[in-house]
């Protein structure tokens, strides 16, 4: 993951590609809807951990360089859904969920700031 962040920092090249790649990792699993919310459902702890790592990297990237992030990449971030781990025979708890609300909000706020 740090290689992706380093690539984004070098000369501003590939920013959109990096953000899109990280956002794609948040899109692991299958789409679902529960309680009026869109979710991504994953079946393994490894998938959830990978989504968490992508979320952390996106958070760091947005905090330090949000003004340089291309519009299409911001739209992808603003549309990110929460990720939940569902394992057979086990009721999920808070540790089984990745809340992407702050990422969505940061993406939406920057789009608004840009007048989009």
> What's the CA gap between 91 and 13, in Å, rounded?
43
Domain residue limits, the chain = 2-113
Name the average pLDDT for the chain. Answer: 84
Give the residue carrying structure tokens 């992030």. Answer: 69
With 90 as the cut, is the pLDDT of residue 6 above it? no
Q: Is 73 helix (H, G, I), strand (E, B) or coil?
A: helix
pLDDT digits over 27-69, tens only?
A: 888 999 888 888 999 999 999 999 999 999 889 888 888 888 8
Structure tokens at 58: 């996106």
pLDDT score recorded for residue 113: 95
- For Cα atoms 31, 37, 115, give the angle at the middle one, nearest 5 degrees: 100
pLDDT score recorded for residue 1: 47
* Cα end-to-end distance, the chain, whole Å: 29
Q: Is 98 helix (H, G, I), strand (E, B) or coil?
A: strand
């Amino acid at each position: 993951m740090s290689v992706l962040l380093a690539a984004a920092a070098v000369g501003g090249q590939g920013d959109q590609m990096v953000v899109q790649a990280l956002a794609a990792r948040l899109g692991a699993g299958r789409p679902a809807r529960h309680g009026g919310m869109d979710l991504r459902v994953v079946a393994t702890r490894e998938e959830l951990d990978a989504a968490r790592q992508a979320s952390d990297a996106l958070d760091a990237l947005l905090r330090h360089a949000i003004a340089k992030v291309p519009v299409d990449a911001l739209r992808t971030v603003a549309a990110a859904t929460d990720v939940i781990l569902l394992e057979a025979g086990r009721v999920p708890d808070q540790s089984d969920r990745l809340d992407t609300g702050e990422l969505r909000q940061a993406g939406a706020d920057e789009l608004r700031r840009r007048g989009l």
